[in-house]
Amino acid sequence: MIHETYQSPLAGRYSSAEMQRLFSAQFKHSTWRRLWVALAESEQSLGLPITSQQIQELTDHVDAIDFEKAAKYERQLKHDVMAHIHAYADQCPNARAVIHLGATSCYVTDNTDIIQIREGLNIILSKLRQVISQLADFAKQYAHQACLGYTHFQPAQLTTVGKRACLWIQDLLMDYEELNARSKQLRFLGVKGTTGTQASFLALFNNDHDKVKALDQSVTQKMGFDRLFLISGQTYTRKQDMLVLNALAGLGASAHKFATDLRLLAHLKEIEEPFETKQVGSTAMPYKRNPMLSERICSLSRFLLSLNENPAYTFATQWLERSLDDSANRRLCLPEAFLTCDAILMLLSEVTAGLKAYPQMMERHIQEELPFMATENILMAAVKKGGDRQILHEKLRTLSQEASKRIKEEGQPNTLLEHILKDPAFMLSKEEMEQILNISAFVGRAPEQVDDFLNQEGLCPKPRQRVKTLWNPIP
């Protein structure tokens, strides 16, 4: 039967079992029951006539949900919360009268959403830490490996592989801080009633305001929260959903940036995602090594970014104390966002654990471009030896254009350095040229920035030793 009906790819193909479990019907509705138990326990402790036997009966049936019976009730009642109240009451006949006492539907639906958001953020933060740690290891390993930097995807000044990896890490750390802040700042709805005034509970406790406030705090603490909304309508403000999904979308944007960079680097044959021995890159082209994991990260990230608009519209269109037009939307948007983010992080973890760098290709690309980048350094060195700056500048311009023409029109290697060495006007020896072309002079503080950054962020307790470049610039 599973192959005859639509199954979300997020559940069947991409996301983890733990995230799927979190947004499953079992977790959702057993959480509703835990909330009903917490409400009954708190009301009993504050003096309402609820017996310990009733609470025990409710507790014994928290996880034993008869979904078929609940579905049957919902077909009759057209109300999912009322259907589950009846299904629960059938299992707990002695406690029937005290289930959901004084509450409205959003007591279980909204508070459960917040619990799922909290647990979902915990899963995401754990996986994001792993990704950052793996990228930090990669950055440490290649902190001093020189490579071409690119602006506009055109060769620019040199950088290092480790420095580039730190750019990715920095974005992910900002996402971690934002997601962690959202997790810590989550507020529980608590026990607020139909319009948020707690009037029904005030009636239950004979106008005792202190007991109603104590009830709100008690349920909040029982469900593991230390912060709650003091003010609400029937629902908690959808601003909270918006802020959470903004943070998830931020991670999606960082993931997309990383994966896009990796796809460009794969084209250059400098860095690749892991590629398994029997993996097929193309049905038609056996040689292909398509960066499919990175492409999938981009694809899922784009979907996650599109979900970011939903909670903003939902928040903006809430009517006064509540409107039900958010319900179906949030049933889709919240789980899909968390499942998508989870899937992205699983892919990021796989990619960052097996990144493959090719220093020889990096050295080759440097060899092709560095002679042009070094012309200013060569000019200064020759002038120091007594050369005429204007004459030497014109010679460098002419030689550079000739070399560029040979590269573009004839497919020849870059021989600019050889021609400069042969020209007596520059008065430079091969040894002096090699000193000018020392890679460390062109990467600036990139290696030191890697060490400083990783140490400052607690990702690298000890600086790495410099890795000697493999390229000998002068043939």
Which residue is catalytic, options 126, 282, 306, 429? 282
Helix (H) or strand (E) holding 150: strand 146-151
- Residue 407 contacts by C-beta under 8 Å, 6 or more apart in sequence? 368, 413, 414
Q: Are 456 and 166 in contact (CB under 8 A)?
A: no
**How does DSSP assign 293-323, residue by residue?**
HHHHHHHHHHHHHHHTHHHHHHHHT--TT--
Helix (H) or strand (E) holding 148: strand 146-151
Q: Is 152 a catalytic residue?
A: yes
d(CA 130, CA 353): 9
Q: Is 282 a catalytic residue?
A: yes
| b/e per residue 203-217 (b: at least 16 CB within 10 A) | ebbeeeeebbeebbb
d(CA 312, CA 243): 9
Helix (H, G, I), strand (E, B), or coil: what is residue 157?
strand
- Residue 245 contacts by C-beta under 8 Å, 6 or more apart in sequence? 307, 308, 310, 311, 333, 334, 337
Only one residue has tokens 């928290």, namely 62
Q: State both tokens at 400.
A: 């550079």
Only one residue has tokens 């326990």, namely 41
- Residue 368 contacts by C-beta under 8 Å, 6 or more apart in sequence? 407, 413, 414
How big is the CA angle at 158 (ends 154 and 160), to the nearest 5 degrees? 115
Q: Are 357 and 144 in contact (CB under 8 A)?
A: no
Q: Which residues are catalytic?
A: 152, 282
